[in-house]
Structure 1
Amino acid sequence: MRDSLWLHKIKGDMSNKGPTDIAREIVKIGKKKARLPASSMAILSILAGIYIAIAGQAMITVTHDAAGSVGTGLARLLGGSVFSLGLILVVLAGAELFTGNSLMVVGWLERKLNLKALAKNWSIVYIGNLIGSILIVYLVFFSGIWMINGGAVGKYALSIAVSKADLGFWSALVRGIGANWLVCVAIWLAISGGTTRDKILGIYFPITAFVLLGFEHSIANMFFLPMGLLLKGVVSVPGASSLTLSTAIFNNIIPVTIGNIIGGVLFVAVPYWMVYLKNHNKQQVLLKPELVKRAA
Structure 2
Amino acid sequence: MAEENTHNNNQKEHNHNFGTSIESRSNPDRPGRQFYIPSQIVSEFAQKGRDHLDQPFRAQFLLALTAGSFMTFGAVFSILLSIGIDAKGLYYLLSGLGFATGYAMVFISGSVLLTEINVLLPTYVFNTQAITQRTILKFWLSAYIGNIIGALFVAIVIQLSGSLSDPFYIELSKLLDKKMKFFDQGRVVGWFQILISGIMANWLIGMAAFLTTAARDITGKIIGTTLPVILFVAGNFQHSAANMGYFSMATLATDKYSWYEFLFMNIIPASIGNIIGGALLVSLLFSYAYKDDIRSAIDHS
1:183 to 205, 212, 218: 205
Instruction: Name the amino acid aligned to 2:124.
Output: G
Q: Secondary structure at the match of 1:146?
A: coil
TM superposition outliers: structure 1 runs of 4+ over 3 Å: 10-15, 278-282
State the partner residue of 1:35.
Answer: 54
Cα distance change, pair 206–46 in 1 and its aligned pair in 2 (3 A):
same
State the partner residue of 2:127.
Answer: 110
State the partner residue of 1:84.
Answer: 100
Cα distance change, pair 20–11 in 1 and its aligned pair in 2 (3 A):
closer
Cα distance change, pair 139–162 in 1 and its aligned pair in 2 (3 A):
farther
Q: How does 1:1-296 map to 2 (within 5 A)?
A: 13=18, 15-67=34-86, 71-103=87-119, 104-111=121-128, 112-147=130-165, 151-167=166-182, 168-232=190-254, 240=256, 243-277=257-291
Instruction: Name the amino acid aligned to 1:29.
Output: K
Q: Secondary structure at the match of 1:215?
A: coil
State the partner residue of 2:5.
Answer: none
Q: Over residues 116-164 of structure 1, what are the superposed CA-to-partner deviations in whole Å (9 max), with x where a residue is unaligned?
A: 22222111011111011001111222222332xxx11112112322432
Instruction: Name the amino acid aligned to 1:133.
Output: A
Q: Over residues 153-191 of structure 1, what are the superposed CA-to-partner deviations in whole Å (9 max), with x where a residue is unaligned?
A: 112112322432342212211111111111111111111
Q: Give the root-mean-square deviation of aligned CA atoms.
A: 2.2
Q: Is the 8 A contact 2:71 2:244 kept in 1?
A: no
Instruction: Name the amino acid aligned to 2:96.
Output: G
Q: Over residues 29-88 of structure 1, what are the superposed CA-to-partner deviations in whole Å (9 max), with x where a residue is unaligned?
A: 111111110000011110001111101101111112112xxx122201111112111111
Q: Secondary structure at the match of 1:145?
A: coil
Deviation at 1:278, TM superposition (A): 5.5
Please give the alpha-carbon distance, in whole angstroms, between the structure 2 residues aligned to 1:178 and 1:201. 20
Q: Is the 8 A contact 2:35 2:214 kept in 1?
A: yes
Q: Secondary structure at the match of 1:159?
A: helix
Q: Is the 8 A contact 1:166 1:251 kept in 2?
A: no
Unaligned runs of 5+ in 1: 1-9, 234-239, 283-296
Instruction: Name the amino acid aligned to 1:19.
Output: P
Unaligned runs of 5+ in 2: 1-14, 20-33, 183-189, 297-301
Instruction: Name the amino acid aligned to 2:155.
Output: V
Deviation at 1:272, TM superposition (A): 0.5
Q: Secondary structure at the match of 2:39?
A: helix
Structure-1-length-normalised TM-score: 0.82
Q: Is the 8 A contact 2:72 2:248 kept in 1?
A: no
Structure-2-length-normalised TM-score: 0.80
Please give the alpha-carbon distance, in whole angstroms, between the structure 1 residues aligned to 2:292 and 2:191. 34
Identity %: 27
What is the number of equivalent residue pairs in this alignment?
259
Instruction: Name the amino acid aligned to 2:262.
Output: A
